[in-house]
Chains A and B, each alone.
Chain A
Amino acid sequence: MRFGDRVLFEDLELAVGAGEFVAVLGPNGSGKTTLLRVLLGLTRLSSGGVEISGRAPKRGSHDVGYVPQQRAFDPDLPIRGRDLVRFGLDGHRRGLPIATAHSRGRVDAAIRSVGAEPYADAPIGLLSGGEQQRLRIAQALIGDPKVLLCDEPLLSLDLSQQQVVSELIDRRRREAGTAVVFVTHEINPILPYVDRVLYLVGGRWRVGTPAEVLTSEGLSELYGTDVDVLHVRGRIIVVGSDESAPTEPGGHHHHHDEHDHHDHHAHGS
């Protein structure tokens, strides 16, 4: 079986294969979010073309699953975990959300697949970030997508939660052959699973395995300034010589540095 997933972006040619895990890295404003929007069918390319399993991206397509950042929900919000998952099945369709045996079965199966049964009926506003993101993955996978688009899904999760969520995504792509496009500031939690990295900096790009792309020479050329890539205890840390240079992967200065003391101290040295 083969799904031909082809993505073109800013003179960029990239084909993501079934079951492949691609991390998209780059500073803010480098086009990571735009790339996701193109794949979601929300934004058109100014030139060039994109295909997801042979078709142009279409809004609401079941070929694509989307996992957003974790965010705070009001504790009083009358929405349970299973309602959130159900949105992934048919939330975009007109009508009343009347539960049928079929929809209930699909929702239950999706909840089971991420091990969220114990809190699936709890209000979403009372769940931890990790619990919420597990339900998010169930929500994204319920339509059996061929591609899973992840937009910083680990942001504001603690280290153990990051691990659980990354493992879930990895397991899915191995078992079901779902291609994963994972936008992140922080490569380290997903480093064990990533097949290839797409690194975007100001219209320039590099693509390849983490070992090929995340090198001092490669990133220095990409950023146009001296950049060091350090390997510390199995983690990758990118250090720039001036503040405008890289903050990723591993630098991560805008968000929850508390878990990344190494990276934090290494930056700017």
Chain B
Amino acid sequence: MISSIDLSQPFAQHALIAGSLVALICGLISPFVVTRGLAFAVHGTSELAFTGAAAGLLVSDNPIGGALAGALIVAVVIAGLGDRAQERDTAIGVVLAFGLGLGVLLLSYYHGFATAATNILFGNIFGVSNDQLLVLVLIGIGVALVMAVVYRPLLFASVDVDVATARGVPVRLLGLVFLIVLALTVTAAAQVVGTLLVLSLAITPAAAAQRWSRSPFLVTALAIVFALAAADGGILISLSSTIKPSVFVTFISFGIYLLSRLAGPLVARRRRRVVPDMVTHA
């Protein structure tokens, strides 16, 4: 079956390049999504990227531009909602529902290709044009660069906000920067797996990686590996079938998670050594 895959086709090469890029940045940000409790924010951002994409499609036949605009607007709004998780998630839920409705309305006025709507929702990696690929490459480079700069203080602010604040880390600014990075990543990931399935690349890899290690650096590295395996594996399998790659991406991603869940807790238990607090070092 594998031998039947023809990788000399430009569309297959484009798909693999785009998939790898998206997997790389998804893996990079996914541990922060989990640590900062932003799973629902990712979902909200991608659903409103759908609304944006529908608007973009209708107005200028440019879904990726619209998705980007929608995701960025949502990122800024979520940042404005502050750190109170409950209030934030409620507001996201409220806006998400409205945004989806608006997206469906916009699509009902669209009379182009019938597959355009499902492509936004479930991805269309084999239809990536040269221009779209360029946009993805630029987003990938931008996200990777920003993450390389903010990684350390962002990690500090994400896990230890009180001390990070006391040490002068610009906690709020980093929160906004991360949400913008998230919006860019979600938009890129939506091209591969679609807006509905973004979470399979933006959360699942980190959730699986956390079962193998508690070193933040190693967890990030593993999340990238898992995301790459899911994205490229899904694309390769899909090349030899008629089923959309997003299906296989989500399946592989979930499979890795299940495997990690079964193996992971042993790691944590073995590492735990109980030391009584009475031990003092005079």
Q: Which residues of A contact B (CB under 8 A)?
A: 40-42, 58-61, 66, 68-69, 71, 73, 75-80, 83-84, 87-88, 90-98, 114-115, 118-119, 121-124, 126, 128, 130-131, 136, 139, 149, 160-161, 164, 167
Q: A76-B210, A92-B167 are in contact. Are A164 and B151 (CB under 8 A)?
A: no
The answer to whether A42 touches B168 (Cβ under 8 A) is: yes
Name the A residues within 8 Å of B217 (CB-CB): 97-98
Q: A76-B210, A118-B275 are in contact. Are A94 and B166 (CB under 8 A)?
A: no
A52→B279 CA distance, assembly (Å)? 34
Name the A residues within 8 Å of B213 (CB-CB): 78
Which residues of B, 1-41, contact A by the 8 Å Cβ criterion? 31, 35
Q: A76-B210, A91-B153, A95-B151 are in contact. Are A164 and B163 (CB under 8 A)?
A: no
The answer to whether B268 touches A91 (Cβ under 8 A) is: no
A265→B272 CA distance, assembly (Å)? 39
Q: Which of A90, A114, A124, A130 lies in contact with B277, CB distance below 8 A?
A: A130
Is there a chain A Cβ closer than 8 Å to B152's Cβ? Answer: yes
Is there a chain A Cβ closer than 8 Å to B216's Cβ? Answer: yes
Is there a chain A Cβ closer than 8 Å to B84's Cβ? Answer: no
Q: A42-B168, A84-B160, A131-B275 are in contact. Are A94 and B150 (CB under 8 A)?
A: yes
The answer to whether B152 touches A97 (Cβ under 8 A) is: yes
A83→B155 CA distance, assembly (Å)? 10
Name the A residues within 8 Å of B152 (CB-CB): 90-91, 93-97
Interface size on B, residues (CB 8 A): 38
A126→B267 CA distance, assembly (Å)? 13
The answer to whether A68 touches B214 (Cβ under 8 A) is: no
- Nearest CB of B to A151, in Å: 8
Q: Which of B155, B209, B268, B281 lies in contact with A123, CB distance below 8 A?
A: B268
Q: Which residues of B contact A (CB under 8 A)?
A: 31, 35, 148-153, 155-156, 159-160, 162-169, 209-210, 213-217, 219, 268, 271-273, 275, 277-281
Name the A residues within 8 Å of B279 (CB-CB): 115
Q: Which of A69, A78, A87, A94: most chain B CB closer than 10 A?
A: A78
Name the B residues within 8 Å of A124 (CB-CB): 159
Quick one: closest B residue to A62, CB to CB? B167
Can you give 30 A-B contacts (C-beta < 8 A)? A42-B168, A58-B168, A66-B167, A68-B162, A73-B159, A77-B35, A78-B210, A80-B215, A84-B159, A91-B152, A91-B153, A91-B155, A91-B156, A92-B156, A92-B164, A93-B153, A94-B149, A96-B152, A97-B151, A97-B155, A97-B216, A114-B281, A118-B273, A118-B275, A122-B214, A122-B271, A123-B214, A136-B163, A149-B166, A164-B280
Q: Which of A41, A93, A95, A126 lies in contact with B148, CB distance below 8 A?
A: A95
A92→B279 CA distance, assembly (Å)? 32
The answer to whether A87 touches B156 (Cβ under 8 A) is: yes
